[in-house]
Structure formats: structure tokens, C-alpha cells
Chain A
Amino acid sequence: MKGGLTTVALAGNPNCGKTTLFNALTGECRYVGNWPGVTVERAEGGYEYGGRDWWVVDLPGLYSLAPFTPDEAISAEFLQSGKADVVVNVVDASNLERSLYLTSQLTELGRPLVVALNMTDLANARGMTLDVDGLAQILGCPVIPMAAWRGEGVQALKEAIAVAVGRPSSSPVLPPDRRGERDRYVFARETTNRTVRQSAEAPVLLSERVDHLVLSRLYGIPIFLAIMAAVFWVTVRASEPAMHFLDEWLSRLLVEGGRQWLEGLGVPEWMILVLADGVGSGLRAVSTFLPPIFSIFVCLALLENSGYMARGAFVMDRILRFIGLPGRAFLPLLVGFGCNVPGILATRTLPERRERILTLLINPFMSCSARLPVYTVFAMAMFPSRANWIIFSLYLVGLLAAIGSGLLLRSTILKGEISTYVMELPEYQMPSWRAVLRHAWENLKGFMIRGGKWIVAAITVLSLANGIRLPAGDSPVERIGKRLLPVFRPLGVSEHNWPASVGLFTGLFAKESVVGTLDALYAQREQRGVVEEEEMEGEGGRRLLESLRRHFPSRSAAYAYLLFVLLYSPCVATIAAIRREAGMGWMFFSIVYQTVLAWTVSVLFYQTIRLKENPAEALFWLGLGAFLLAGWVFGLKAWTWRRRRA
């Protein structure tokens, strides 16, 4: 019992529909994906039934009570702790034999057990006939046939749970002297033979036919790349009109309109600065990014729901093996495209610590949605006709950085064998638009709250702080920006563009703040007339794009800046996740490694472009960049060698 509530644990194999059932029971909107390993943490929620409150715990999937991975350990530990008043074993009806191994163990927990025979609709469609009563008799517990995604059988399950609480614990299906592994397999097979009837001919699945193409050596990678390119095209091109619309109207309404209205009310200037230029401008900036963020989450959710994700892992297997990871490490990496924090948590599905560390170290190279606004704004400002290709190229650079880093770490401090690779390929399914839109909305809401908080706060604080004048005539923010500037000069940040260096600093708190910071600081500079009047062509919503064009000397400088944003230290939330999963040492390693790599790559890129223009200076910086890269490689090799000797 938890605070007078009856605790119901949902346990079962991965991808058998536990989270779908959890949502159906509690009315929650937890994300459901069509691939094993979506849930890596315990999720909890409640419902009311029969005048009583019930507390449901959705556990990560597991195959047996002897866990192999950290996420399985969470489930096994919870089930064996006796915290659950009732255990609901969610069983994939179309894959009964495999599920019954765990079921036989769950009957031995000494807790009331209810079997939720999920996906019966799918089993029937496959020509399977299930003897539910016979199964209940063999297992000695209620068996409820259901199709959780359609809400079928949910009421019956609630009733069965309510009845089970008052009853004695379920009896083990196997006697104490016959609980070996082989005995459980025999039990699973015999029970399946007795309760499931399969029509003679099972049709060749559509999934199988599609997989012949999608998994093929010839077409697999091109299809994968084409899908990803399409995602970025939709993200940028489809959301562009909405972005401009929101940008212009909210700028007129909240910033300029707000300022005029406050001035009319006779509000002091500092208050106008905070409300109109700070909060108003921040809200405008956040709203502008909503269309691309929404688009990318819709696209990713479509891919996840369709079942393509696991195929992506197969296609990428060869590349991942090259860097010392099994193919399924691709799933945490792909989750990282949405947000690096769940991507890092998803590494729990990997059995080996070496693989988990390696995957979480390269995860921040996956461009998360927080970096998308930065890419979008820069790409639209500096490369208007090729914006989607520029964004796509940044995602590819992230992948290349991950591969390069993986190779380096694999050959130095993270040497080791690749673990056994087994991954279920879920069947393709038509994505449910409701689930897709709900997932996109949840993420959008997360961005509005988390990103919005940081962007609005950054813009407000910076607007205020930049309004303060120091005795020398500059502001504290300007002074910090100018102090940081020498570090970023070699990557093309010009002398007067100190807001760019402040943006990189605030980006450490949340990557979204980079644009917010640039927006606020450029706007103030222009208001103060630091930028010549005739240069200020943009007005309203396009102001930031115009400002970027004026402040970055060239496209190569803007791209180098984007490379730095892509590769440098993860944000604080990601840093905290790395510390939680891998420890303090790896956290510091990640910060230092990524920042040095970001600086080196950006400088190498920018100075290579400048080689003709200023060969002496460019060669100096190229040499320094190459020296730093070589230093990393030799440093890590030396570290490995010393550790081996120790």
C-alpha cells in the first residue's frame, strides 16, 4: 500500500503493451513507441474504481526476474521487494510461449496475480484461437483478454484487480523441485500447446516484405538517409511560413505594441525594458520556435510508431560496430535527436557498462530539438535558399563527430568486446495520429515550459543587465562578452560581435537560450544606435535574421558558429543526466572533451575557408587545431597505457 492506495504493478516482456495499458487504466498520456525499450524508468499514476483509489506502477519490460540490463533491474527489484499489492502480468497474446517464462516466475512472488492477455485482436488476425479459460485454469489466476490500445477489456481488468486484492496470493505453477530453466520452458511450451490453436497457414507478413527492402544492404542506408532528409525538409520548409507569421505578429503585439502601451501608461524605462524587451521579446522568441519543434516531433513520433526505429538500428549496425557498439545502441542515439536527457536514460537498455558509457558520451552529438531553433534561425538568415540542407548537414556532422569520438574512445579508454546483440523487430503498424499528435504536443509543452523558462529568463536578465552602464560606458554583459571574445575570434566571431560569445555562455544552461540571447542583445545594440541606422533594414519579426546577417562577417563564420553550438559542452540537464548514469568523472570528461572538440572543429573549418584570404594566420590556427586533436589522441592513448600498467 502506498499512502492508503493499493499498488498495482504492470510487468511483462518489452513491447507487449504495458504503457498502453497504463495509459488506458490511468488516463495518463505516457509515450508509447513501437519498439522494445521505450520505458526505462518506473512510471506511476492512479485511478479510482469501486470507490477505492488504485496506484499503478508501469515497469520497464523484462524477460525474467534475473535482470541483464539496468532497466530490467528496476523492474525485478520492484517486483521482488513486495511493494506491489497486485501484480498484473501483461502478456502478448500473439507471443504467448515466450511470455509464459516470466509468468511462471511471477506466480512465485507470493502476490495476487492477474494476467492481462493483451493484443488478442492481433492474435486473432494471425489466425490464432486462444483458450482463455484453459489458460486461467493452468495459471491459477484470472486471465483477462484485451486489446488495450482500443480500450477493450480495461473495465474487466479493473474488476479482476479489485477482486484479486481480497484473495490469497497466486500459487506457483511449478512445484519447488521443478523450477529450473528447462522446466519453465517445458511449462511454457506445454501450456501454449494446450491453449493456443494456430491455423495451418500463417500468411507472409507485410512487415517481412517491407523489410526485404528496408533492411537490404543496397537500399537500407539510402532509405534511412532519405527518410532523415525528408524529416528535416518538412521541419524547415513546412514550418517556415508559420514561423514568420508568429514572429511578425508577436513582435508587433508583444514587443513594439507592448512598449508603446507601457510608454503611454508612463511606466518607467527600466520596467519597459523588463516587460517589453525582456518578457515580451522572450515570449515572441519561444513562440517562433514552436512550428519547427512541433514538426520534428511529429516526424520522429511517426517513425517511432511505425516500427521503423528498430530497422534503423539494424541498418546502422555496421557503423555502430565499427565504433564498438551493438546495433541497438542506435535507439538511445535516435531518442537523443528529440532530447539528449531521455537519450542518455535510454542507454540503460544496454547490458554492458562500457557500451552504456560510450553511448552516453556520444549521445550529446545528436542534435537535440533545443539546438534546432539555433540552426533554423541561422540557416534562414545566412543560407535562405538551402536552409534545410544546412540543417541536415549539421545533423550529419553530429553523426560524424559521434563516429569519430566512438572510434577514438573505443581504441583507447573504452576498449572491450561488443555484447551479444539481440533485438526484437516489431511489426510495422499505421501510426495512430492521436498518439503522434499527443507525443508531439507533450514535447512541445516540455519545450515551452523548459525552453521558454530559459529563453524568457535569459532575455529578461540580459536586457536588464545590458541596460546597466558601468563607469567605462559599457554594460556588465558587454564586458563579459568582450572578455570571452578572444576565444571565439579564430572561429569567425568578429570583434564587434560580442553577443555571440555571450550566447554560447547562456547556451550552457539551455541550448535554446543562444537565440534568445542574440535576439535580446542585438536588439538593444540596434536601439542604442551602435549599429548604423542605414544598416537596420529589417523590422518587426525579421529583425533577428537581419541582425545575424549584419553581425556575422560571412557564411563560413556563421557555419563555424553553428558547428560550435552543435559540438560544445552539453546543457546542464544533460550534464546532470550523465553524472547520474555514469558518475562525476565521465561528466567532467564529457564537458572538456566536447568543448575542446567543438573549438577545434570550428576553427579548422573556418580557417580552412580563410586559407586563401589570410594564409599565415589561417595556417597558425590550423596548426593549433591539429595539435589539439593530436593531443587528445595521444593523451587518451597515454591514459589507457598508464591504466593498463597500473
Chain B
Amino acid sequence: MRWRFRYGHRRCSSLIGGGGGKGGGLVPLAEGFEGHHYEIVESPDRHIREMGFFPGARVRIIRNVPSEHGLVVGLGRSRYVLGRSAAALIRVADLGGCRHCHGGIGSDSTAFA
């Protein structure tokens, strides 16, 4: 998967020939793509875990501009501004879900059985 800046935003580039969709390994949340859904695998900070960023939780990156100190992340109905340093410590697995990739889950909320 490649990524590129669009006005500084970190977005998936699958529409222009990238290999979007679900990725293989774990990546820091800070390096995630806008519009993609991720599952949290590791979250070392207790306070952040208690706010809902715990292993197994699904998040969607709404805004990720590398030059900004905060990412806007969707978690359930809530949206958070998460400091880049904190987001760099959270390891996530890509679930896709981006409209460019047509991969992964289709909405930002978990569909409950």
C-alpha cells in the first residue's frame, strides 16, 4: 500500500494505482490513512485505554495531517482528538473500509450480532 499527501492529509492512494484495502502487519495509529478502519491491538497508555482505545476496539481515522499534532479519530459514536505521540504508541491492524479501497467494513460503527 502506498500513501501520499493531499493538501497534507494522509490518505490512501488506491484510486491512483495503490494497493488499498486491508493491510497485513501492525502499524502505529499515527500512520493510519484517513477513512480507514482499524482494530486496536496494543494500547500501552492506561488513561487512553480507559477512554475506549483498548485492544479490540475499532477506530476510524477521520483526519490525519502529519504536520498537525493531533489526529481526529472516530470510536463508536464519539470522535476524539488524539495526540500524535499517543497515537504513535497505539498499534493497529488495518481493516480497510475506505471508499477508495472498497475493502473491509462499511461503516464506522461495529455491527453487533
Report if B54 contacts A (CB, 8 A): yes
Nearest first, the 5 closest Cβ-Cβ pairs linking A and B are A421-B83, A98-B52, A63-B50, A420-B86, A185-B54
Q: Provided the pairs A318-B68, A422-B83 are in contact, do residues A211 and B63 lie with their beta carbons within 8 angstroms?
A: yes
How distant is A567 from chain B, measured CB to nearest CB, in Å? 29
Contact (Cβ within 8 A) B76 A421? no
Report if B82 contacts A (CB, 8 A): yes
Query: In the assembled complex, which residues on chain A have CB atoms less than 8 Å from the CB atom of B62?
Result: 208, 211
Q: Pick the residue among A123, A197, A327 that contacts B70 (CB under 8 A).
A: A327
| Given contact pairs A126-B77, A212-B63, a sample of 6 additional A-B residue pairs in the complex whose CB atoms are under 8 Å apart | A63-B50, A126-B109, A192-B110, A198-B112, A201-B106, A211-B63
Contact (Cβ within 8 A) A422 B72? no
Report if A376 contacts B (CB, 8 A): no
Report if A95 contacts B (CB, 8 A): yes
Q: Provided the pairs A215-B63, A421-B82 are in contact, do residues A200 and B107 lie with their beta carbons within 8 angstroms?
A: yes
Contact (Cβ within 8 A) B69 A217? no
Nearest A residue (CB) for B49:
A181
Contact (Cβ within 8 A) A68 B79? no
Report if B5 contacts A (CB, 8 A): no
How distant is A96 from chain B, measured CB to nearest CB, in Å? 8
Interface size class of B (residues with CB under 8 A): 35 or more
Complex CA–CA separation, A186 to B56 (angstroms): 9
Report if B8 contacts A (CB, 8 A): yes
Report if B1 contacts A (CB, 8 A): no
Contact (Cβ within 8 A) A421 B81? yes
List residues of A whose CB falls within 8 A of some B CB: 63-64, 66, 68, 92, 94-95, 97-98, 101, 122-123, 126, 181-182, 185-186, 189, 192-194, 196-198, 200-202, 207-208, 211-212, 215, 217, 310, 313-314, 317-318, 321, 326-327, 351, 420-425, 427
Complex CA–CA separation, A314 to B57 (angstroms): 24
Contact (Cβ within 8 A) A420 B85? yes
Complex CA–CA separation, A101 to B67 (angstroms): 33
Report if B51 contacts A (CB, 8 A): yes
Report if B12 contacts A (CB, 8 A): no
Query: In the assembled complex, which residues on chain B have CB atoms less than 8 Å from the CB atom of A189?
Result: 56-57
Nearest A residue (CB) for B48:
A422
Query: In the assembled complex, which residues on chain A have CB atoms less than 8 Å from the CB atom of B52?
Result: 95, 97-98, 101
Contact (Cβ within 8 A) A66 B110? no
Q: Provided the pairs A97-B76, A202-B109, A425-B72 are in contact, do residues A420 and B48 lie with their beta carbons within 8 angstroms?
A: yes
Query: In the assembled complex, which residues on chain A have CB atoms less than 8 Å from the CB atom of B83?
Result: 326, 420-422
Contact (Cβ within 8 A) B55 A182? yes
Complex CA–CA separation, A396 to B52 (angstroms): 37
Report if B98 contacts A (CB, 8 A): no
Complex CA–CA separation, A208 to B52 (angstroms): 20
Contact (Cβ within 8 A) B70 A217? no
Query: In the assembled complex, which residues on chain A have CB atoms less than 8 Å from the CB atom of B15?
Result: none
Query: In the assembled complex, which residues on chain A have CB atoms less than 8 Å from the CB atom of B55?
Result: 182, 185
Contact (Cβ within 8 A) B79 A425? yes
Contact (Cβ within 8 A) A197 B68? no
Nearest A residue (CB) for B108:
A202
Query: In the assembled complex, which residues on chain A have CB atoms less than 8 Å from the CB atom of B113?
Result: 193
Contact (Cβ within 8 A) A198 B109? yes
Interface members, chain B 42-94 (any A CB < 8 Å): 45-57, 62-63, 65, 67-70, 72, 75-83, 85-86
Q: Pick the residue among A68, A326, A424 that contacts B47 (CB under 8 A).
A: A68
Q: Provided the pairs A420-B45, A425-B79 are in contact, do residues A197 and B50 lie with their beta carbons within 8 angstroms?
A: no
Report if B16 contacts A (CB, 8 A): no
Contact (Cβ within 8 A) B79 A424? yes
Query: In the assembled complex, which residues on chain A have CB atoms less than 8 Å from the CB atom of B48?
Result: 420, 422
Which residue, B48, B68, B78, B106, has most C-beta atoms of chain A within 10 A?
A: B78
Q: Pick the residue among A98, A122, A313, A314 that contacts B75 (CB under 8 A).
A: A98
Name 12 A/B residue pairs within 8 A (Cβ), A-sorted.
Answer: A92-B77, A95-B78, A185-B56, A194-B112, A197-B112, A202-B107, A207-B79, A211-B63, A211-B79, A421-B85, A422-B82, A424-B80
Q: Provided the pairs A189-B56, A200-B111 are in contact, do residues A217 and B65 lie with their beta carbons within 8 angstroms?
A: yes
Contact (Cβ within 8 A) A98 B51? yes
Nearest A residue (CB) for B113:
A193
Query: In the assembled complex, which residues on chain B have CB atoms less than 8 Å from the CB atom of A212?
Result: 63
Q: Pick the residue among A68, A197, A200, A314 that contacts B81 (CB under 8 A).
A: A314
Query: In the assembled complex, which residues on chain B have CB atoms less than 8 Å from the CB atom of A421?
Result: 69-70, 81-83, 85-86
Which residue, B53, B85, B107, has most C-beta atoms of chain A within 10 A?
A: B107
Query: In the assembled complex, which residues on chain B have CB atoms less than 8 Å from the CB atom of A201?
Result: 106-107
Nearest A residue (CB) for B76:
A95
Nearest A residue (CB) for B54:
A185
Complex CA–CA separation, A500 to B75 (angstroms): 56
Query: In the assembled complex, which residues on chain A have CB atoms less than 8 Å from the CB atom of B53?
Result: 422
Query: In the assembled complex, which residues on chain B have CB atoms less than 8 Å from the CB atom of A126?
Result: 77, 109
Complex CA–CA separation, A97 to B62 (angstroms): 20
How distant is A71 from chain B, measured CB to nearest CB, in Å? 14
Complex CA–CA separation, A215 to B112 (angstroms): 31
Query: In the assembled complex, which residues on chain B have CB atoms less than 8 Å from the CB atom of A194?
Result: 112
Complex CA–CA separation, A547 to B51 (angstroms): 57
Complex CA–CA separation, A92 to B80 (angstroms): 16
Q: Provided the pairs A66-B46, A200-B107, A421-B86 are in contact, do residues A217 and B77 lie with their beta carbons within 8 angstroms?
A: no
Query: In the assembled complex, which residues on chain A have CB atoms less than 8 Å from the CB atom of B85?
Result: 420-421
Contact (Cβ within 8 A) B68 A425? no
Complex CA–CA separation, A66 to B109 (angstroms): 28
Query: In the assembled complex, which residues on chain B have CB atoms less than 8 Å from the CB atom of A97?
Result: 52, 57, 76
Complex CA–CA separation, A134 to B22 (angstroms): 35
Query: In the assembled complex, which residues on chain A have CB atoms less than 8 Å from the CB atom of B70?
Result: 314, 317, 327, 421
Q: Pick the residue among B69, B72, B76, B86 that contacts A98 (CB under 8 A).
A: B76
